Chains A and B, each alone.
Chain A
Amino acid sequence: MIPSDTMLTEAGLPPAHTGRILLVACGALAHEILALKRLNGWDHMDLQCLPANLHLWPDRITPAVAAAVAEHRDRYDQIFVVYADCGTGGQLFEKCKELGVEMIEGPHCYSFFEGNAAFATKADAEFTAFYLTDFLVRQFDAFVWRPMGLDRHPELRAMYFGNYTDLIYQAQTDDPVLDAKARDCAARLGLAYTRRFTGYGDLARVLAQVSGTAAQDVSPD
């Protein structure tokens, strides 16, 4: 079953309790991880997603991940955390080290989708860019527009986005509907629009390593 974006945003996804490896991931990555599992036949990897809206309170991410690891570590041979730093200021990395579990590298998902090395080289040129992924385009209102109060107070837009110049949509899939929606998001924020296809980037490579198999680094249709 493909979970709904609303469920992934607000409630997350419970593990199926199958497989030897548990991926503890952000709900914003569920579709991509499930697609990679399907494409590569990674049935030995189970997936638990924490609510994606934890990103609205980054200080809650580390304790939530730690609680998930503690809850499930006896049931699996290995747990891998599929969160980047995500605004925790290194605290998630330190907690994972303390718990003896590994996590994916990078400051944010939009860095590892691009490929962390490639993203870092663009940092100087793109520091005024606001990034959206497939999930964030679909959930733009739930993640950006409403939490920032722009639905009620559009006059705040300049305070939030006045220093940005561009919106870059990092597309994990080729979807004209998402492209059009992302373009609309850029217009609503008053930013120039760019679409950049990334596929799954480092996510596919890293999960292949965790799975112990080679990955098909392709995007689903």
Chain B
Amino acid sequence: MADDDEIILSELSDDELVLQMHDDLYDGMKEEIEEGVNILIARGWTPYDVLTKALVAGMTIVGADFRDGILFVPEVLLAANAMKAGMFILKPLLVETGAPRMGKMVIGTVKGDIHDIGKNLVAMMMEGAGFEVLDLGINNSVEKYLEALERERPDILGMSALLTTTMPYMKVVIDTMKEKGMREDYIVLVGGAPLNEEFGRAIGADAYCRDAAVAVETAKMYVARKHNQLSA
């Protein structure tokens, strides 16, 4: 029997539905997000608008509440799962219809580190923000990073580590890039729980990003700066 208070998504106006999707994303309700995405597409929304106004905006609220200690990791993961389900529907449509392209990123956790929750969140939010993301996965050697950089020619290299024992490997990668004269060709962003701004500076990264939302904003800022330099 249907709950008297059950919300019928298809009966909501566009504005109400978007707000409801923010709530559903916050609560990690994957099936409701999938339904909401399909409804908005059926109403003629562009995939890009669905992505940015319903999903990314909702996940930004989740990220802010995580940063403020209101939400915790399990809730963020459930929200991320819901957003991922929505993006799964949108991705092929975005390819068909086109969307603004912000830039390209290669990302992966460093050698010896298998902890990819943060890296996966960053990759997803970067995609949501219009970046093309090549995810190298976990446990990446310097050779694997460099091979991907040379092959993909991204704007950004992102490296992630959760362990105090693995985070120094980021410097190995950056130092090798310097040795090969390719460091200045890329924006290097680093992140992970034990890192901080001082560490990022010390190893020669462009920036340390404390969470996925900061990574997106930092990436946008550096890419815009790079494009301005190129056009100057």
B70-93 Cβ-contact flags toward A at 8 Å (1 or 0): 001111011001000000000000
Chain B, Cβ-Cβ closest to A92: B164
* Pair A87/B193 contact, Cβ less than 8 Å: yes
A162-189 Cβ-contact flags toward B at 8 Å (1 or 0): 0110000000000000000000000000
Within 8 A of B (CB), among A55-73: 58
* Pair A89/B196 contact, Cβ less than 8 Å: yes
The contact of A156 among B77, B138, B195, by CB within 8 Å, is B77
B165 sits at the interface (CB 8 A): yes
**Minimum distance in angstroms from B33 CB to a CB of chain A:** 15
Within 8 A of A (CB), among B183-204: 193-196, 199
Q: Count chain B CB atoms within 10 A of each CB in A85, A124, A160, A163 and give the residue with the most.
A: A163
* Pair A159/B77 contact, Cβ less than 8 Å: yes
* Pair A89/B164 contact, Cβ less than 8 Å: yes
CB contacts (< 8 Å) of B139 on chain A: these are: 127
For chain B, the count of residues having a C-beta within 8 Å of the partner chain is: 25
Chain A, Cβ-Cβ closest to B116: A163
A100 sits at the interface (CB 8 A): no
For chain A, the count of residues having a C-beta within 8 Å of the partner chain is: 23
CB contacts (< 8 Å) of A164 on chain B: these are: 114
Tell me the bound Cα distance from A163 to B115 in angstroms. Answer: 7
B167 sits at the interface (CB 8 A): yes
B214 sits at the interface (CB 8 A): no
* Pair B164/A87 contact, Cβ less than 8 Å: yes
A90 sits at the interface (CB 8 A): yes
**Minimum distance in angstroms from A123 CB to a CB of chain B:** 6
* Pair A87/B194 contact, Cβ less than 8 Å: yes
Within 8 A of B (CB), among A121-153: 123-124, 127-128, 147-150, 152-153
B223 sits at the interface (CB 8 A): no
A88 sits at the interface (CB 8 A): yes
A29-58 Cβ-contact flags toward B at 8 Å (1 or 0): 000000000000000000000000000001
* Pair B164/A156 contact, Cβ less than 8 Å: no
* Pair A88/B194 contact, Cβ less than 8 Å: yes
* Pair B193/A58 contact, Cβ less than 8 Å: yes
Within 8 A of B (CB), among A101-125: 107, 123-124
Tell me the bound Cα distance from A159 to B121 in angstroms. Answer: 11
* Pair A90/B199 contact, Cβ less than 8 Å: yes
The contact of B114 among A58, A128, A150, by CB within 8 Å, is A128
The contact of B112 among A123, A147, A153, by CB within 8 Å, is A123
B163 sits at the interface (CB 8 A): yes
The contact of A163 among B73, B114, B164, B199, by CB within 8 Å, is B114
**Minimum distance in angstroms from B116 CB to a CB of chain A:** 6
Chain B, Cβ-Cβ closest to A165: B114
B135 sits at the interface (CB 8 A): no
Chain A, Cβ-Cβ closest to B167: A89
* Pair B74/A127 contact, Cβ less than 8 Å: no
**Minimum distance in angstroms from A134 CB to a CB of chain B:** 22
**Minimum distance in angstroms from A195 CB to a CB of chain B:** 22
B149-171 Cβ-contact flags toward A at 8 Å (1 or 0): 00000000000001111010000
* Pair A58/B194 contact, Cβ less than 8 Å: yes
The contact of A89 among B72, B73, B114, B199, by CB within 8 Å, is B199
Within 8 A of A (CB), among B37-86: 72-75, 77-78, 81
CB contacts (< 8 Å) of A88 on chain B: these are: 164, 194
CB contacts (< 8 Å) of B117 on chain A: these are: 159-160
A62-100 Cβ-contact flags toward B at 8 Å (1 or 0): 000000000000000000000001011111000000000
The contact of B75 among A85, A149, A150, by CB within 8 Å, is A149
CB contacts (< 8 Å) of B32 on chain A: these are: none
Contacts A/B (CB < 8 Å), 21 sampled = A58-B193, A58-B194, A87-B162, A87-B194, A88-B164, A89-B164, A89-B167, A89-B195, A89-B196, A91-B196, A107-B164, A127-B112, A127-B113, A147-B72, A148-B73, A149-B75, A149-B77, A150-B74, A153-B74, A159-B77, A164-B114
Residue numbers of A with Cβ under 8 A of B are 58, 85, 87-91, 107, 123-124, 127-128, 147-150, 152-153, 156, 159-160, 163-164
